[in-house]
Chains A and B, each alone.
Chain A
Amino acid sequence: MSEEEQEMITKVEAPVYLKYNFTAGSAPTRFLAQIKKGVLAGQRCPKCLAVYIPTRGSCGRCGVPTVEEVELSDKATVQSFTIVSIPIPNNPIEPPFIIANVVPDGANVSFIHLMSECVNEEVHIGQRVQAVWKPEDEWGYSMDNIRYFKPLDEPDVPIELIGKLTVTGEEG
């Protein structure tokens, strides 16, 4: 068979794999130790009193260490979200699904997690949600202890109050 008759190569697989050894550090280790017990633990800045989660051990605004640990609620408010419609390679979750930035009550910053048990088209900013946890015997040092957040039957939080609620869900 001549070369022309053979099938031309038009594509090559060129994957890139980055292998890390991740060390949590002291502040994230405290956070992970608490989530292993089913507790969402933030840290409060001694200067501006902002509560951070997950903790990095310092306040980005004030540049001071955060030490005081604050137990937060697993109820939260949707700060932003996106509907993922395109499958991600090696991701077992089938689209469409919702990724949301949620602020737990008592914290001033959001973290990213999944939303489920919801009508995707009805998810909105300010919506009240609550964590759905895995069974306790499956808890590890992982954010995956929370399966996802589901909608709560509570009034929406006005945009200007998102990230400002107390741990009991009241206006701070």
Chain B
Amino acid sequence: MSQPEILNQAFELGYTYTRSTGPVVGRFLTGLKNRKLVGIKASDGRVIVPPMEYDPDTAEELSEFVDVGEQGEIVTFAWVKEPREAHPMNEPFAWAMIKLDGADVPMIHCVAAKSESDVTTGARVRAVWADETIGFMTDIRCFELV
């Protein structure tokens, strides 16, 4: 019997999850919807953004919310030469750990820049808000160099 052609087909498996945020992450996302960034104060006084629900050292429940700035500084970064479909930007960009003004712990987000050489550790960046905010991380479209 002759071997038939090899068959090939695109296939997508999808899980349509809806996740409950809880009060702490919910507060952070509500802040984003209002174009504000909010962190939380840990037992040692550090301000953590995005806010954590429990203290990283004592495991106590945290509740002291602190407003932080929409500008900050790049602590470390990785340049993405060829963005993939799931990435937040179509053009080359940087994933960066950004320490926002008033925060003590950096937060990961994407930084738009023309070229890799424009991005440096210590560079100042500012949040670029989406045209329409919905209460999701993508309400910050990206950060841009100041």
Contacts and interface: CB of A to CB of B under 8 A. Distances in A.
Nearest to A26: B3
Given A10-B21, A15-B14, A28-B7, 5 more contacts: A7-B30, A8-B30, A12-B136, A20-B11, A26-B3
Interface string B108-139: 00000000000000000000000000011000
Interface in A96-113: none
B14 A17 contact: yes
B13 A12 contact: no
B101 to A, nearest CB: 20
28 contacts: A3-B30, A3-B36, A6-B33, A6-B34, A9-B29, A11-B18, A12-B19, A12-B21, A12-B135, A13-B18, A15-B15, A15-B16, A17-B13, A17-B14, A19-B10, A20-B13, A21-B9, A21-B10, A22-B11, A23-B7, A24-B6, A24-B7, A24-B9, A26-B6, A29-B3, A29-B5, A32-B7, A90-B14
Interface string B26-39: 11011101101000
B19 A24 contact: no
Interface of B: 1, 3-21, 23, 26-27, 29-31, 33-34, 36, 135-136
B1 A69 contact: yes
A17 B23 CA distance: 27
How many interface residues does chain A have, given as a range? Answer: 20 to 34
B26 A9 contact: yes
A123 B80 CA distance: 56
Nearest to A15: B16
A56 interface: no
Interface of A is mostly: mixed
A22 B11 CA distance: 6
A18 B7 contact: no
Contacts of B16: 13, 15, 89-90
Contacts of A19: 10-12
A139 interface: no
A17 B14 CA distance: 4
A3 B11 contact: no
A103 B51 CA distance: 55
